Amino acid sequence: MQTRAYGKTGITTSLFGMGCMRLPTIAGASGLEEIDKEKAIEMVQYAANNGVTYFDTAYGYHNQQSEALVGEALEGELRKKVTIATKQPYSVMKTKDNMRRNLENTLKKLRTDYLDVYLIHSIQPPYWEDIKAFDAIGEYEKFRQEGLIKNIAFSYHGDFETYKKIVDYYDWDMVQIQQNILDVNDQATSEGIRYAGKKGMAVVIMEPLRGGGLAQPPKEVAALYEQYPEKRTAVEWAFRHLYDFPEVSVILSGVSTMEQLKDNIRIFSGEDVKPNCLTEADKKLLADVKAAYEARAGINCTACEYCQPCPMGVEIPRLFKAYNSGMMYDNMNFGKGSYAFAKRNGADASKCVECGACENVCPQNLEIIELLKKVRAELDG
């Protein structure tokens, strides 16, 4: 298993980190999915005994079951060998007492008296000012002074400019961002990897396979890989794109089966798994792959957000991106999750009143009203 320095912390971790958000599940007595405890514990322990030293979980994963599963699997001697990262959600940061109770509950679930890494979970641009005003970071510093946590970090979904402001605001130990072949210019962007790296921060990558979508490429993309002289699977190319960055400390992969876990361990144990490994020809291939995926998109939305804010709160770029994801992967289920999230927040296409304000400002001259109807028909339900 290849390892890397975890930023300026002095920690060395496995380059592959086991994400514990997509563990195997079974139907529970209540009708809700529950973690398949026997299989999941076997997988976590197999990983820890085969070179994986980084495990990522969070308060809310698997209906708040993930931390307890990880704690049970790693209790005892294995705990001494690994780095555990978990997260406190913005939703519990209402009072300082809430934050402390949440941390204490997390420590109890994980069966440990300290956390290696504690993240503020999924900072998004609208929340950042509130997090600063509440001084959540100051509370994290108190936890560190008490020995309850060792490193302070955040995970992020949002634009690059806000990302830079957050990175610059505090001497963070780590940042966790979404990056993959398709997101080089989205969210924190690939430049965000370099920006954090220059500050000595560990950079942890999530969604390297875009929720698994990049593992099963459509025929146009599969043909590009097959025609390339160097033979690798789509999964290998997706990971290779990321560990090419010297600034990347850990690449998370949320595995659901032992087969997936063993394949990831195999990939990340290769002798050629090194920074700056991509040739110019490799980079051209991956650029062509990105273009092939994007050519499958059904809506020519550039996410410029000229249409935002919608008077009714419809998150038009998010909904179009969800639809395009389904088209790119030839599987509309990939878009339904994003649509459902927008719906829970009251921002889905059903809120459109056809006022036309968005169409009046769209630089692409999209027929947004009709497209929203199309998106709703495909993704709602």
Per-residue confidence (pLDDT) for residue 123, from 0 to 100: 87
Q: What's the Cα-to-Cα distance from 301 to each of 242, 298, 304, 314, 322, rounded to whole Å?
A: 26, 9, 8, 15, 11
What top-level class would CATH report for the domain 3-286? Answer: alpha beta
Give the tens place of pLDDT for each residue, 160-169.
999 999 999 9
Tokens of 294: 């994007």
Cβ atoms of 102 and 59 within 8 Å: the answer is yes
Write out residues in the chain with pLDDT < 70, as ranges.
31
Per-residue confidence (pLDDT) for residue 292, from 0 to 100: 93
Per-residue confidence (pLDDT) for residue 298, from 0 to 100: 84
Give the tens place of pLDDT for each residue, 98-109.
999 999 999 999
Of 322, 345, 341, 320, the closest CA to residue 332 belongs to 322
Per-residue confidence (pLDDT) for residue 353, from 0 to 100: 95
Per-residue confidence (pLDDT) for residue 42, from 0 to 100: 98
Per-residue confidence (pLDDT) for residue 160, from 0 to 100: 92
Q: How far apart are CA 44 and CA 24, in angstroms?
A: 11
Q: How far apart are CA 200 and CA 173, in angstroms?
A: 8
Strands (E), the chain: 3-5, 12-14, 16-19, 25-27, 33-35, 54-56, 83-89, 115-123, 149-156, 174-178, 202-206, 248-254
Whether the full predicted model's pTM is greater than 0.85, yes or no, is yes
Per-residue confidence (pLDDT) for residue 340, from 0 to 100: 85
Cβ atoms of 106 and 143 within 8 Å: the answer is no
Q: What's the Cα-to-Cα distance from 282 to each of 80, 225, 263, 275, rounded to whole Å?
A: 39, 10, 22, 14
Per-residue confidence (pLDDT) for residue 71, from 0 to 100: 97
Tokens of 46: 């197999």
CATH 3.20.20.100 domain residues, the chain: 3-286
Q: How far apart are CA 330 and CA 248, in angstroms?
A: 30
Phi, psi of 196 (to 5 degrees): -70, -40
